[in-house]
Chain A
Amino acid sequence: MSEYLLYPGCSMESSAKAYYDSLMKVAEPLGLHLKEIEDWNCCGATEYLGISLTPAYALISRNLALAARQANGTRTVVAPCSACYLNLAKADYYMREQPRLGHMVNEALAAGDLAYEPGSLDVRHLLDVIVYDIGLDIVKEKVVRPLTGLRVAPYLGCMVPRPDFEHRWSDHEHPVELDQLLKALGAEVIDFPLKTHCCGGHMTQIGPDTAFELIRRLVSSADTYHADLMATLCPMCQLNVDAYQGEMNRHFGTSYHMPVVFFTQLIGLALGLEAKELGFGSEMVSARKALAKIGLEAPEPVAAAPAKAHKAEGLPMPPPLTRRARKGSREGEVKS
């Protein structure tokens, strides 16, 4: 069993409850042992960073300090939420890159009898751990109900593949990890061009017009490719594209119906678990129709995807680049 310290983040307990529930259900079958950090606090999302430097990073680092204290053998903190993941990873990275920041933060932490040594923990996202630590071979083995015929648009959002200081992902713009995982579950994965484009984040609260436009782009693209649903790994993305889809439709006069679920929910379905216990039904844009597809013996024929340029005739295309994502794959150059 692989052991990790879990930082759930505030959303997992409320708006992204389905993420939490499905994660808890699939952790054991996958061999993922998660220990929640004791008394963790909110990471500050993108709000605190805009107020003041040291308090923002001190808020984040309290969690790192608590995790380090609790560590006991493992040195990896897993964060399923993208913003939390980025905040924790950034805090650790910047404190290493700029020792002055590390000193200031530790000075603040000392007021609470805590300390954190930058670099003593690895911060990783849940998808990274499943694909690279557990491995897709294990995942494939455990699949009992392959999601055959389900057309999924993999949606990673922006904060996981970027800025990726530790080079954990295969690419910043079109990473293959989520695609490969969904393929391992048996789903039909569309080549979603906006897979790492922003959902608007907190703009739904601050500048709704901007946010609705960003949401519209995502939903419209997934729709053009005839996706049955979008699979995401970020609570904010799920909330925006799901809960605000209605308002977005009204704003533009459109009538999209694009369900958005968490990738752990799909893992759960493929492992044979029941939809209800995986949090299905809690989404605002119902995924019922999409789910119906997986229950069928012979899935109904899917409408043809938009024609892309034929690669068979005409001039040859270059072969795909074999991408390897591992720490230091850029030959040691730290992208500052």
Chain B
Amino acid sequence: MTGGNGRKPEQQERIGVYVCHCGSNIAGVVDVQQVAEWAASRLKHRGVVVARDYKFMCSSLGQELVERDIKELGLTRVVVAACSPHLHEKTFRTACARAGLNPFLMEMVSIREQVSWVHTDKEIATLKAQAVVSGGVERVLHHVALEPLRVPIHPATLVVGGGIAGIQAALEIADAGFHVYLVEREPSIGGHMAQFDKTFPTLDCAACILTPRMVQAWGHPNITLLTWSEVEKVEGYVGSFNVTIRRRARKIKEELCTGCGICQEKCPKKVVDTIYEAGLGYRKAVYTPFAQAVPKFPVMDVENCIYFQKGTCKACEKFCPTNAIDFKQDDVVMQVEVGNIILATGYEIFDARKVSNYGYGRLANVFTSLEMERLTNAAGPTNGRIVLRDGKTVPESVGVIHCVGSRDRNFNNYCSVICCMQSLKFAHLVHERTGARVYNFYIDMRTPFKDYDEFYQRVMEEGTLFVRGKVAEVTDAARLPGEEGKLIIQVEDTLAGKQRRIPVDMVILSVGLEPRPDANEVAKRFGISCSVNGWFIEKHPKLDPVATMTEGIYIAGCAQGPKDIPATVSQGAAAAARVLGKIQQKEMALEPVRASVVEEQCSGCRICNGLCPFNAITFHEDRMVSEINPALCQGCGTCVAACPAGAIVGTVFSNEQVLAQIDGLMLLNLEESLGTPS
């Protein structure tokens, strides 16, 4: 019988119906045998030539059932009633393809998540399963054979972020023989790791293991290093992204600069370096952030440069031996074409000023972990001497506070992963360099990975005093003798069960990790999303942590969530491997699930244009119609629903298919003469 749209029942199709037991998951509630028999008899007139039930359709034997029937019975359509398509749609599509049937002529309906898992009444569940199968049969009659869209993959790759994750990814791709554009916002690559002194658990020097890689990236024939640069726009889609990069003017002519550093030396304007020195040291208005910077060319900070602000000075120009200073230099905007993009933009630390009971910003000798890294760094503002804020006094007692701004519903709810190990590292360094008494204040000790707990044992052996208790307050208000002039840490020693006041000279706050403040904008620029906490969202947290929902865009490192250096490097390598795999295939098959505009019906209202989350719709002014780019379209269906003229159709979810499925669900397709649907 006909329902809306005047479609005709297809008598020529030969449909195979397969009902899965899924062990007892489905069969325990639904009488699967009954459903198969029902389909075979009651839907025969709709084209069902065979209906089987089987214990585990997704097993090889199950799939072979389908394949054999396609070959031997000449099936033209397949309906599988089992679990959710999210799990095995691909399995059965591939099985059909193997047997020579176009994979999109298979429809999978869920009688597990939508029937056996949500009902307890077996009779009703069986009836519902029948209806669901009937819906699937009606729908599949309207399926069309589809071919995936094949797009070429440009062999070049864009890596955004020059920290250890980005450097790792870039080197791996470049070593494999393909070109990489490595874009970094700061004047030098290296990221946060370049700020550290020693890294846990091995205590090797961060710069010593990082700088060789940085130099490699600089010299590599396959890497174009673009520092002091930012990505402004991304257009296109996987395999052919068109990226606009702004190379900010350094005001230094790179071809003439030798990196001698005289300009830096002679520059009279000193500024607090809030980025590399974490606010603890100074730099000049023309500067390289650190001695081993890659590239070696300095940059000019025009907001602080005396010439740009007042028109005088120009000391750097005067003294530069190769005339490399160019005040008139402009930004250069360039465009590159790449096939894939890896985002490795890293993290920011939590702003400890927000925790006012710890006194950071008010009490001089309270430091953050990043400030401490700079203190311990041999190339830092104190040449590696651990001293108080006066720059001179060596502390005799130090308190290290874990979980600052993390695991706290008042700030960030999550655990920042690295702070316990970092705090232990600080304890070790303080012992080593000052012989001071060290207290570590923790709630739980999180040292899960290789050699981590052994490091904890080592720090215990060195004599660090551990107090289990989240510090309540750091204050300078003395209450008892011996507290004057000190910072007093007030905490409950939960293991001893008493409140303690512990006077120390110096307090180090192990602050948590946060996403970059502009993470949301960056995500939008690249067409991906951020989680509630602001980290880039991965395709699947367990099974696919470096891919995103947007094809061709990958994420690596702390931009995806807090992690230590080993995990960061692993993710950088993983992203590189994924990209290399794509490049090797030279082209990619995109799922043909997408929408298209029926031009004759399009009125040019443009409602769909702004709704597309993937910016896939363009408007043709000359013809006054909208067009959907099939490569960018992800088949979400938003435009299909929004079009007031119904001028947009979706493959694999056309109006005919959906309406037919509804008719089938309501059992309108059964023979009238048999009376009310059973």
Contact = CB atoms under 8 A, between A and B. Distances in A.
Contacts of B86: none
A309 B364 contact: yes
A127 B377 CA distance: 47
A272 B41 CA distance: 100
Interface in B385-435: 388-392, 409-410
Given A193-B477, A194-B477, A221-B477, A318 B279 contact: yes
A314 B361 contact: no
B45 interface: no
A321 B361 contact: yes
Interface stretch (A3-11, A81-89, A170-178, A257-265): A170-178
B7 interface: no
Nearest to B393: A314
Interface in A72-91: none
A318 B353 contact: yes
A317 B390 CA distance: 10
Interface string B253-291: 000000000000000000010000001111000000000
A335 B411 CA distance: 11
B361 A173 contact: no
A301 interface: no
A118 to B, nearest CB: 23
Contacts of B362: 174, 191
Contacts of B476: 193, 308
A313 interface: yes
Interface in A109-168: none
Contacts of B381: 315
A314 B391 contact: yes
A276 to B, nearest CB: 35
A109 to B, nearest CB: 33
Interface in A295-318: 308-311, 313-318
Interface residues of B, number: 28
A173 B356 contact: yes
Contacts of B392: 314
B367 to A, nearest CB: 9
Contacts of A174: 356, 362
A96 interface: no
Interface string A235-262: 0000000000000000000000000000
B357 A308 contact: no
Query: Which of B272, B381, B392, B477 neighbours the largest number of chain A CB atoms within 10 Å of its CB?
Result: B477
A320 B476 CA distance: 18
B479 interface: yes
B490 to A, nearest CB: 11
Contacts of B351: 321
A317 B382 CA distance: 15
B390 A335 contact: no
B233 interface: no
Nearest to B273: A316
Given A174-B362, A321-B353, A335-B409, A309 B390 contact: yes
Interface residues of A, number: 24
Interface in B359-390: 360-362, 364-365, 381-382, 388-390
A309 B476 CA distance: 11
Contacts of A191: 362
Contacts of B353: 318, 320-321
B410 A309 contact: no
Nearest to B360: A318
A69 interface: no
A324 interface: no
B391 A315 contact: yes
B479 A308 contact: no
B361 A320 contact: yes
Query: Which of A174, A191, A308, A318 neighbours the largest number of chain B CB atoms within 10 Å of its CB?
Result: A318
A194 B479 CA distance: 11
A291 B423 CA distance: 51
A191 B359 CA distance: 12
Contact of A335 (B365, B391, B410, B479): B410
Contacts of A193: 475-477
Query: Which of B272, B351, B356 neighbours the largest number of chain A CB atoms within 10 Å of its CB?
Result: B356
A302 to B, nearest CB: 20
B177 to A, nearest CB: 47
A312 to B, nearest CB: 10
Contacts of B364: 308-309, 311, 317
Interface string B287-321: 00000000000000000000000000000000000
A319 B351 CA distance: 11
Contact of A317 (B356, B361, B409, B477): B361
Contacts of A316: 272, 279-282
B354 interface: yes
A319 B362 CA distance: 9
A217 interface: yes
Interface in B468-497: 475-477, 479
A134 to B, nearest CB: 26
B389 A317 contact: yes
A172 B392 CA distance: 34
Contacts of B382: 315
A256 B489 CA distance: 27
A217 B479 contact: yes
Contacts of B360: 318
B520 to A, nearest CB: 13
A91 to B, nearest CB: 23
A171 B475 CA distance: 16
Given A172-B356, A173-B357, A320-B361, A313 B477 contact: no
**Which 3 pairs of residues, A with B, have the shortest CB-CB distance?**
A309-B364, A314-B391, A314-B390
Given A217-B477, A321-B361, A335-B409, 16 more contacts: A171-B356, A193-B475, A193-B476, A194-B477, A308-B364, A309-B389, A311-B364, A311-B389, A313-B391, A314-B389, A314-B390, A316-B272, A317-B361, A317-B389, A318-B353, A321-B354
Interface of B: 272, 279-282, 351, 353-354, 356-357, 360-362, 364-365, 381-382, 388-392, 409-410, 475-477, 479
15 contacts: A191-B362, A193-B477, A194-B477, A308-B476, A313-B391, A314-B392, A315-B280, A315-B382, A316-B280, A318-B360, A320-B353, A320-B361, A321-B361, A333-B409, A335-B409
